[in-house]
Amino acid sequence: MNSVPTVRYEVNDQLAVITVDNPPVNAMAPGMREEIVAGIERANADPAVQAIVLTGANRNFIAGADIRQFGKARGISSAESTAAIVQSAKPIVAAIEGYCLGGGLEHALACHYRVAAPSARMGLPEIKIGLIPGGGGTQRLPRLVGARAALDLILSGRHVDAKEALALGIVDLVTEQPVLGAARDLIQRRSPAAPLPHVDSMTIQDADERVFAEARKRTARQRIKAAAYAIELVEAATSRSVPEGMALERARFSELEGSDESRALRYAFFAERTSAKVPGAPEDYRPPRVTRPAVIGAGTMGGGIAMAFADAGIAVRLLDASAEGLERGIQRIAANYAAKLKRNTITEDEIRERMALIQPTLSYDDIVDCDAVIEAVFERIDLKLEIFSKLDRIMGPDALLLTNSSAIDINTIASATQRPHMVAGSHFFAPANVMKLCEIVKGDASSIETILRAAKMGRDLGKISVIAGSCDGFAANRSRAPLVTEMMLLLEEGALPQQIDKVMMDFGYPMGPFAVSDLSGLDVSYDTRKRRAAANPEYRKLHVPDRLAEMGRHGQKVGAGWYRYEAGSRTPMPDPVVAEVIAGVARDFNIPQRQFSDDEILRRLLFASVNEACKIIDEGKALRASDIDVMWLNGFGFPRHRGGLLYWADSIGADNIYRQISEWHAAYGKRWQPSRLLASIAAASGQLREATAA
Ligand code: COA
C-alpha cells in the first residue's frame, strides 16, 4: 500500500487526470493542494489536453483536509486551490466515488461538472470538529442547492448518498459506469463552444430571511461558535460575491481553528479512532462479522440490544426463559419503535422490516447455530453461571459467548465454561439501541481474537467499542462511580440536587446527574449499593438516596425522585420533601452544613472521577486515558466540546488536581487517596490525556 501522499498527473487521450492518493481516504495532506494547482496549470498549458478530471484513488474522492494538520502551517489554502479550479479555461470534471467530504466536496463544488458513483458519500462535516468549511463551502453550496439545504448539511455535518446528492443538485449525474469513463463521456457530449458552468455565478434561490431565522432558532442551544458562524456565512452568500464571502469565511475559519472547542473536538475524533486499536492484535487477523447473533433475556437491556442488531440489518434471535417475559419484551420493542415513528425517525415499512429481523424464541435449540450469544439477564450470579454452562454445552466451538453484565466479574462467568478464552463482556449502555458506547470487557482468559470479534460486533452495530479489563464496574462505570458518591455526599454537606444539576448543565451536560438518576430509577442504584455494601464492610452508605428509594421515590416513572414531576410532564421540579430528607440525614449524622460555589461542586465531582480513572489506567483496566474519554463522551453524555474527562483535566493541570486531591484526602479520608499515576504525571508536569496502561 502506498502511504506517501501523492497527486498523480496523467494525460490519456486528451484528458488530463489529476488523482489524489493518500490512503485510506485521501485526506488532503500538506503539498497536495499545490500539486492540484500545478496539474491544472500544466493541463491548461498543454494543447494536447482538452479537459481535466479531478479524482481520488483508493475508491474514494477526498475525505477533506488532514485534521492532524489543523493549527499548523500547511502551504496554500483550499481557497487558493479551488480558485485555480474556477479559473481554469479548460473544463474540469470532479469524478467522485466514496467519501467526498469537507475540503474534498469544496474542490468538487469549484469544478465545472460533478459525476458520481453510487458509492459516493458527500458532506461538509467540519461542524463536528468545531469548524466551518474553509474552502468556499459556505458560499458555493447554497448557490448550488439553496440556503435551506446548504444550512441543513453544514449545521448537521451529515453525509448524503449519491441519490440524495443528485436530488439536491450537488452532482450532475450518478452513474453505474466507472466514474472516469463517465467524466470522459460528459466532456465528449458537451459542445466545446458552450460557456463553462460556474457555481460562482449562480444566485441563491431561497435567499429568504426566514430560512436564517429558523436556522438560528434551531441552533440557539448549541454551544459551539461554528454554528452561528456558518449561518452568518450562508447569509453573507446571499449578498456578496464568492471571493468576498470567502474572505469572511477564511477569517472565521482561522478564529475557530485555534479555539479550545475545535481542539477538543479534534482530539475526540482521533480518540475514538484510537480506541479501535488493540495492542497485540495479530497483523493478519481480520475478525469475522457476527451474522447470526442471539440475545438471552428479553428485558430492557436485552430488548435494546436486539433492536441494535435489527437497526443494523442483522437478524437476531431473542430468547427468554418465560413466555410472558418474551411477550413483554417484544411489546416493549414495538412500543420503542412506535415512539420513533411518532418522532418521524423511522417509517412503518422500516419498523416491519426490523421487527421481522427479531426472532423470539423460548428454546435454546433455536440458537445452537448462532455465531455469538449475548447474555442480558438479571445481575444474578447463579443465573449467569447456569446460562454459561449451558451455552458451553450446546453452542458450536466458534461461538462468541458474551455477557452484558455491568457488575459481575467476567472471570467468574467464564469459569462456568470449558472455553474461557471465548468469553468476554459486551457491556451496552441504556438505552442500548441509542447509546454509542459498547464496553468490551476482557477477562483474564479472553483471547485477543475474542476481544477483536466482540469489538467488531460493536462497530457493526454503529457503536464505538472500547476495551476494558474486568474489575468492579469495569472502566466506564467504575470511573464514574466516585462522581456519583461525591454528588450524594455534597448533599449531606449542604448542596441541593438542583444546584448540582445546574452546575453540570452549565458545564455542558444535556441533563444534570440527578435528573438522569430520576430517569434510570433510584431503585436500580439502591439495589446495586445494597450488593456492594454486603460485599464490602467499609462501604460508605449513601443515606440520602437510600432514604428516598425506601420512601418509594423511584424517579420519573412514579412522578417523584430527586425532583417531583407533574402528571404527563418530564420537567423536574425541585421538591421541598427532598430538601427535608437531606436536612434529616445531616441532623442524624451531625454533618456540618455550608454553601458550595459552583466551581467547588464541579471540581469535587470531576476530580473524584479523574483520580479513579488514573487508578484504572494504572491497574491496566483501561488501555489509555483517551479510551476513558471516549467512554465518557459516548456512554455518559460528557460534553464533547470539552474533549473528555481527562482531556478536560489537563486544562486544569495534573499538578493542580493532585494538590487538591491530596488536601481532600487529608480532610475527608481514604476515598480521596490520590492515584500513583496521577502523582507521577503531576510530578513530571505531564499530560493526563497521554497516559497509557503500563
Ligand atoms: N484527516 C486525517 N485523518 C483522517 C481523516 C482526515 N480528514 N479522515 C479519516 N482519517 C483517518 C482516520 O484517523 C483513520 O486513521 P487510522 O486508520 O490511522 O486510525 C483512517 O483515516 C480511517 O478513518 P475511519 O474514520 O476509521 O474510517 P471510516 O471508514 O469509519 O470513516 C470517514 C471514514 C472519512 C467518514 C471518517 O474518517 C471521517 O469522518 N473523517 C473526517 C472527515 C472530515 O471531517 N473532513 C473534513 C475535515 S475539515
Do residue 326 and residue 352 come from a single domain? yes
Give the residue whose CA is nearest to atom 30 of ligand 1: 273
DSSP state at residue 447: -
Do residue 107 and residue 247 come from a single domain? yes
Could you report the per-residue pLDDT of 434-486, keeping only the tens digit for each? 999 999 999 999 999 999 999 999 999 999 999 999 998 999 999 999 999 99
- Does residue 141 carry a pLDDT above 60? yes
Q: Are 516 and 682 in contact (CB under 8 A)?
A: no
Could you report the per-residue pLDDT of 631-642, keeping only the tens digit for each? 999 999 999 999
Which ligand 1 atom lies nearest to the CA of residue 70?
Answer: 48
The CATH code of the domain that includes 187 is 3.90.226.10
Q: Tell how far the Cα of 37 is from the centroid of ligand 1, in angstroms.
A: 24
Q: Is residue 74 part of a domain?
A: yes
Give the residue whose CA is nearest to atom 28 of ligand 1: 25
Q: Is residue 580 part of a domain?
A: yes
CB neighbourhood size of 598 (10 A) = 14
Could you report the per-residue pLDDT of 187-215, keeping only the tens digit for each? 999 998 899 999 999 999 998 999 999 99
Do residue 466 and residue 478 come from a single domain? no
Give the residue whose CA is nearest to atom 2 of ligand 1: 66
Could you report the per-residue pLDDT of 551-597, keeping only the tens digit for each? 999 999 899 999 999 998 889 999 999 999 999 999 999 999 999 99
Could you report the per-residue pLDDT of 261-270, keeping only the tens digit for each? 999 999 999 9
Q: What total of structural domains would you count in the chain? A: 4
Q: Tell how far the Cα of 22 is from the centroid of ligand 1, in angstroms.
A: 11
Could you tell me whether strands 316-319 and 293-296 are parallel, antiparallel, or unpaired per DSSP bridges? parallel
Assess whether the C-beta atom of 63 lies below 6 angstroms from ligand 1: yes
The CATH code of the domain that includes 354 is 3.40.50.720
Give the mean pLDDT of 378-396. 95
**Does 126 qualify as catalytic in the annotation?**
yes
Do residue 58 and residue 119 come from a single domain? yes
Ligand 1 pocket test: which of 269, 273, 278 has the largest number of ligand atoms within 8 Å of its C-beta?
273
Q: At what angle do helices 476-493 and 576-588 cross, to 10 degrees?
A: 80
Q: Which three cell numbers stand for residue 665?
A: 484526602
Do residue 591 and residue 638 come from a single domain? no
Could you report the per-residue pLDDT of 63-92, keeping only the tens digit for each? 999 999 888 877 899 999 999 999 999 999
Give the residue whose CA is nearest to atom 14 of ligand 1: 273
- Does residue 1 carry a pLDDT above 80? no
- Does residue 525 carry a pLDDT above 90? no
SS3 91: coil
- Does residue 692 carry a pLDDT above 80? yes
Q: What's the mean per-residue pLDDT of the chain? A: 95
The CATH code of the domain that includes 570 is 1.10.1040.50
Do residue 239 and residue 382 come from a single domain? no
Q: Is residue 267 part of a domain?
A: no
Q: Is residue 286 part of a domain?
A: no
Assess whether the C-beta atom of 25 lies below 6 angstroms from ligand 1: yes
Give the residue whose CA is nearest to atom 38 of ligand 1: 63
Q: Tell how far the Cα of 36 is from the centroid of ligand 1, in angstroms.
A: 21
Assess whether the C-beta atom of 691 lies below 6 angstroms from ligand 1: no
What is the model's pLDDT at position 503? 98
Chain centre distance of CA 506: 21
Do residue 229 and residue 247 come from a single domain? yes
Give the residue whose CA is nearest to atom 42 of ligand 1: 63
Do residue 159 and residue 121 come from a single domain? yes
Q: Is residue 265 part of a domain?
A: no
Category of 669 on φ-ψ map: left (φ > 0), alpha (ψ -120 to 50) or beta: left
Q: Is residue 608 part of a domain?
A: yes
- Does residue 515 carry a pLDDT above 90? yes
Q: Is residue 527 part of a domain?
A: yes
Assess whether the C-beta atom of 130 lies below 6 angstroms from ligand 1: no
Do residue 581 and residue 665 come from a single domain? no
Give the mean pLDDT of 676-691. 98
**Does 41 qualify as catalytic in the annotation?**
no
CB neighbourhood size of 350 (10 A) = 15
Do residue 585 and residue 613 come from a single domain? no
Q: Tell how far the Cα of 63 is from the centroid of ligand 1, in angstroms.
A: 7
Q: Tell how far the Cα of 663 is from the centroid of ligand 1, in angstroms.
A: 43
> Which of 537, 560, 595 marks a domain boundary?
595
Tell me the whole-structure pTM to 2 decimals. Answer: 0.94
Assess whether the C-beta atom of 633 lies below 6 angstroms from ligand 1: no
Assess whether the C-beta atom of 125 lies below 6 angstroms from ligand 1: yes
Backbone angles phi, psi at 502, to 5 degrees: -65, -40
Q: Is residue 386 part of a domain?
A: yes
Q: Tell how far the Cα of 67 is from the centroid of ligand 1, in angstroms.
A: 8
Q: Tell how far the Cα of 99 is from the centroid of ligand 1, in angstroms.
A: 10
> Which of 595, 630, 650 marks a domain boundary?
595
What is the model's pLDDT at position 380? 87
Do residue 299 and residue 391 come from a single domain? yes
Catalytic residue among 126, 249, 272, 492: 126
Assess whether the C-beta atom of 460 lies below 6 angstroms from ligand 1: no
Do residue 566 and residue 621 come from a single domain? no
Find the domain containing 347 and state its range.
Answer: 293-470
675-689: b (≥16 Cβ within 10 Å) or e? bebbbebbeeeeebb
What is the model's pLDDT at position 3? 64
Which ligand 1 atom lies nearest to the CA of residue 128?
Answer: 44
